[in-house]
Amino acid sequence: MSPTAIFSGIQPTGRKHLGNYIGAIRQYVESQDRGDPAIFCIVDLHAISVEYDPAELRERLYDTTAILLAAGLDPERCILFRQSDVREHTELTWLLSAVTAHGDLKRMHQFKDKSAKQRELIPAALFLYPVLMAADVLAYKAAEVPVGDDQRQHVELMREIARRFNERFGETLVVPEHRIPKVGARIMDLQSPKDKMSTTSSSKLGTVFLLDDPEAIRKKFASAVTDSGREIMRSPEKPGISNLIEVMAVIAEMPPVEVESEFGEAGYGEFKKAVGQAVAEFLLPLQDRYAQLRSNEAFLEKALLYGAERARPIARDTLAMVRDRMGIGPARK
């Protein structure tokens, strides 16, 4: 099997929660030894597409870096860097915008949702967000993109951009495939199990943050909204229990059907208690490691710059090829 480059990015905004870990971060850790290379980017340029505070953005970026390292990413086994440190991303975004359909961007769910929440200005950056995301991935000729289920539409668009570029200018870009986990691709709000767990739109009681103390985690699961009946089973009519089963399956590393079997005779209260305890215990080592890492910003900065030094030549080579194929600048020799 030929080597496969893997790429994924994560926003530095907001406090990271259980949905971020299950849907994305654990995939990063699992794939860092499969990728050749495995590249993970903290996408600070994406973060400025909505209202934000500059000082908070820098703080959250270090928070996110520490979380990723605490979860198990190793800068020697993968390439971990800050998006804005590799300027090839922004130039490639502009070049790729020449083969991106305006209508495709208008149909993006994220643009519709986030633009509706903007109080005054709807920035063009929000509209072009998917093109920058495509540039992030296509710059590294990544064949695999580990993402949560909510990013499926973005990956489909970057595939279309790559295909359209290749058809017009010749085979240049790799058309990537998404890798969405079979279990836990979309973790839901504990208080509103039909809505995705989110830093911005979810309720505080329904969002389990990775740095919540054990008692807070147990209380959040104990108060989780469940469904009618008492059966511990996945079903479209049981979104609350189905969500808890998926969480337990990931944390306990067992198939959902085994979770259903093991807790089949338990009541909802007992099951919620078991899930809360399992999550609290699971996150303790991550929290301890995070506390050690976050206090050393110099180390975090060094790790990010080291990753950028390794990422830049890969992106530079792709950008040079794209420029040449498009007739931008002098012809390559």
Q: What is the pLDDT of residues 29-68, one digit of tens each?
A: 999 999 999 999 999 999 998 888 999 999 999 999 999 9
User: Looking at residue 181, what is its pLDDT?
Assistant: 84
Q: What is the pLDDT of residues 139-155, one digit of tens each?
A: 999 999 998 777 889 99
Nearest CA among 328, 307, 324 for reference residue 76? 307
> Residue 116 — pLDDT band, cuts 50, 70, 90?
low
Q: Say how far apart CA 5 and CA 41 lie, in whole Å.
A: 14
Instruction: Report in angstroms the alpha-carbon separations of 210 from 159, 195, 325.
Output: 32, 19, 45
User: Looking at residue 202, what is its pLDDT?
Assistant: 61
Contacts by 199-208, CB closer than 8 A, 24 or more apart: 199/13, 199/14, 199/15, 199/16, 199/17, 200/14, 202/17, 207/17, 207/18, 207/19, 208/17, 208/18, 208/279
Q: Say how far apart CA 158 and CA 132 lie, in whole Å.
A: 9
Write down the mean pLDDT value for the chain.
92
Per-domain residue ranges of the chain: 6-179+297-326, 214-291
Q: At what angle do helices 109-117 and 152-169 cross, to 10 degrees?
A: 120
Q: Say how far apart CA 70 and CA 286 lie, in whole Å.
A: 5
Quick one: tokens of 67?
A: 């979380």
CATH number corresponding to 214-291: 1.10.240.10
User: Looking at residue 3, what is its pLDDT?
Assistant: 62
Q: What is the pLDDT of residues 170-225, one digit of tens each?
A: 999 999 999 888 888 889 999 999 899 988 766 789 999 999 999 999 999 999 99
User: Looking at residue 185, what is its pLDDT?
Assistant: 81
Do 256 and 247 meet the contact criterion of CB atoms below 8 Å apart? no
Question: Which homologous superfamily is 6-179+297-326 in?
Answer: HUPs (3.40.50.620)
Q: What is the pLDDT of residues 279-293, one digit of tens each?
A: 999 999 999 999 999
